[in-house]
Amino acid sequence: MSDQGPHLPAPSLWPIGFAAGIACILIGLVISVLVAVVGFGIALVFGFLWLRDVTRPVRTPAPEVEPESRPSRATEATAPAEGDAMPVMSEEEIATYPRSTFISIATLGLGGVIGGIITVPVLGFAVLPSFTNQHEPNVELGPIEDFPEGDFVIATFLEDPKIGEVSRRTMFIRNNGQLEGQPSFTVLYSRCAHLGCPVQPNGPVFDDEKKTIGDHVELTPTKPAGFGCPCHGGQYDTEGNRTAGPPVRALDRAEFSIRNGKLVIGSFYSVAKVEGTGERARIQKYGRMPPGVHVDGPEAWLYPLEVPR
Amino acid sequence: MSPQAKSARRAQLEAAALYPLEWLEERSGLVGGVKYFLFRKVPRDTGWFHTLGSATLTAFLVQAITGVILAMYYKPDPNSAYESIQHITNDLTLGWLVRGMHRWGASVFIILMFFHMARVFLFGAYKYPRELNWIIGVLLLAMGMLEGFTGYLLPWDQTAYWATVVGINLNGTAPIIGPFLAQFLAGGTEIGADTLSKFYALHMLAIPGAIFALIGLHLYLVIRLGVTSPPWSPDAAGRERPEAAAPTNGREGLVRPGRRGGSE
């Protein structure tokens, strides 16, 4: 056992870097001079380090190094005087960096890396689809003539016919006539600004005049004095402003456009308050927020981040 | 036949009967473990109040088993979920019973959790050294509530749908992260194609898994720390105990479980 002196030269990792540099040079000769130059640099640096390592015993006298081995506790405690060949190490030497520590750290590190590689994309798939590729509605509701001027129509439609009835939305739409030559519509979303229940028109609904357009759009005339929510009693006027109850803002609205004489529903947006009525309404418009969330005033400071979609 | 022969034969029979258990014990220690779990020492004046925890566990196991059976017939798809529930309730033999057990058992589970928590609170059983078990119990309560929330959507009727809309939007009002939480739960800006299957996966895989793990920790701590005496007990913690030579290594006042295999 005593003949196990230190290796000369000591094991070194520098040749690996040197070899990688040479490989880069060879690859660079085929694909790009730049790679060859980088490889030359790597080979130079690692070659120098290797040489320095190899020549160290020549430049400096080799230190006396005990072979790396640990005494068993039993040997140390009970039979130190038996003349055992096992060298007894001092406390200082035991405190060096033993192989088992290296293996523990390497196992933990490798395990962490493997775990991360597996976990990160899986967690991403669990969370990200809810926040990406949220399509904007773009639904044709029918000819403008089906929306009599000054009256509300309850329009229900599928926001995404591919996913079916679960995407059915209800809007209250009033034709405000013309404003400076442009058609004007009030498009209120039926989702209550309190906690999202469906608000209903406070007034007669003319079910016998219901029109079905296409395969999923239904238009029903109504004459509401306002809108009310069945769940917790929120009340709104015909501009969607809150008049009573728990809602924190006005009803959401949707953009609209006219395409080939047909009314098309665009993206939804949230509204703090509406001043004025009909085509003269001035709307404080915000990005779409969930119900129950303030969009203006000090309470809106609680929601500083916009949800990506 | 002499008595000796009879008892020798009896011993032989007993050995034969016990052989499988001994085989198992020698290779796994499971028999001793089960004995240790079932025959540990408890204070002499424990009573019916102390059964509330086991009752809650039983209610959860009923939910787990009936839930697995219901999952064999339920379809978590927006276009067929409601019909599959109708099918379970009206067409399948005993479907009404198992669905009813799961539906009413859910309420029983929650109610028993609260009774159990009240017992622990009123008996002061949450105090040192059992604080950690109280915390685990609170996590279990939260998980149970989440089971209720996610399970309520699954019948996919009007009550389920709008209650979940309101529940998701309640989450949406939490400061800063609320809107993100709501959109995560709904799987989009509103309840959509994937919301139902997401709630189903949470309801029958993720949350029950967490509950099983937490129950394991909960029971481990119950066994390690023992059961508390009622507050009116003469053996209550802190009083002078008959055996004055009890160990004083910081676990004084605890009712400590006996050695492996029970009776000390």
DSSP B184-245: HHHTSSSS-TTHHHHHHHIIIIIHHHHHHHHHHHHHHHHHHH-PPPPTT-TT-TTS--S-TT
Q: Which residue has the higher pLDDT, B193 or B66?
A: B66
Query: Does B60 have pLDDT greater than 90?
Result: yes
> Closest chain B residue to A168 measured between Cα atoms?
B192
Report the Cα A97 to chain-centroid distance in Å.
Answer: 42
Residue A33, judged by CB atoms within 10 A of its CB (0-12, 13-18, 19+), counts as exposed
Q: Do A167 and B193 touch (CB under 8 A)?
A: yes
Nearest CA in chain B to A124: B184
Check: CB of residue B242 under 8 Å from CB of residue B211: no
Chain B: closest CA distance from residue A291 (Å): 6
Closest CA to A72 of A87, A60, A83, A59: A87
How would you write the pLDDT of chain A (309 residues) with one tens digit per residue?
445 555 555 677 888 999 999 999 999 988 888 899 999 999 999 999 988 887 777 777 656 666 666 655 554 444 444 445 555 656 555 667 788 889 999 999 999 999 999 999 999 999 999 998 887 778 999 899 899 999 999 999 998 888 888 999 999 999 998 888 888 999 999 999 999 999 999 999 999 999 998 889 999 999 999 999 999 999 999 999 999 999 999 999 999 999 998 999 999 999 999 999 888 889 989 989 999 999 998 999 999 888 887
pTM for this entry: 0.76
CB–CB contact B189 A288 (8 Å):
yes
Is the pLDDT confidence value at B244 over 80? no
Is A303–B187 a contact, with Cβ atoms under 8 angstroms apart?
Answer: no
Contact B183 A195 (CB under 8 A): no
* pLDDT tens for each residue of B142-175: 999 999 999 999 999 999 999 999 999 999 999 9
- Under an 8 A CB cutoff, do A309 and B183 touch? yes
Q: Do B169 and A290 lie within an 8 Å CB cutoff?
A: yes
b/e per residue, B129-142, with b = 16+ CB within 10 A?
Answer: ebeebbebbeebee
* B171 SS3 class: helix
Nearest CA in chain A to B187: A130
Burial (CB count within 10 angstroms: exposed 0-12, middle 13-18, buried 19+), residue B260: exposed
How much is the pLDDT for A292?
92
CA distance B1 to chain A (A): 60
Whether residues B78 and A288 touch (CB distance < 8 A) is answered with no
* CB-CB neighbours of B116 under 10 Å: 22
Contacts of A165 in chain B (CB under 8 A): 78-79
Note whether A290 contacts B173, CB cutoff 8 Å: yes
Chain A residues with CB within 8 Å of chain B CB = 127, 129-131, 134, 160, 163-167, 191, 195-198, 231, 268, 288-293, 302-305, 307, 309
Among candidates B165, B179, B194 on the partner chain, residue whose Cβ is nearest the Cβ of A303: B179
pLDDT digits (tens, 9 = 90+) for A209-252: 999 988 899 999 999 999 999 999 999 999 999 999 999 999 99
What is the pLDDT, as a whole number, of residue B259?
A: 47
Taking CA A138 as the corner, what is the angle to CA A136 and CA A142, rounded to the nearest 5 degrees?
155
- Smallest CA–CA distance, residue A247 to chain B, in Å, is 12
Which pLDDT does position B177 carry in this prediction? Answer: 93
Residues of B in contact with A303 (CB under 8 A): 175-176, 178-179
Which of A170, A302, A303, A309 to substitute to test the interface with B, most B CBs within 10 Å? A303
Q: CB A290 to CB B182 under 8 A?
A: yes
- Contact assignment for B165 to A304 by CB distance below 8 Å: no
| pLDDT at res. A214 | 87
How many angstroms separate the CA atoms of B43 and B258, rounded?
12
Give the pLDDT of residue A178: 85
**Peptide bond between residue B230 and the one before it cis (omega within 30 degrees of 0):** no
Token duo for residue A52: 């320095």
Cα–Cα distance for residue pair B158/B138, rounded to 1 Å: 31
Q: Could you read off the pLDDT of B2-56 as tens digits, one per residue?
A: 555 668 889 989 989 999 999 999 999 999 999 998 888 888 888 899 999 999 9
Contacts of B170 in chain A (CB under 8 A): 195, 292
For residue B231 the two structure tokens come to: 């507050």
Strands A200-201 and A227-228 come out as antiparallel
Residue B264's pLDDT is what?
Answer: 38
Give the gap in angstroms from C-alpha B105 to the nearest C-alpha of chain A: 27
Chain A residues with CB-CB distance to B193 below 8 A: 163-164, 166-167
CA triple A191-B75-B193, angle to 5 deg: 35
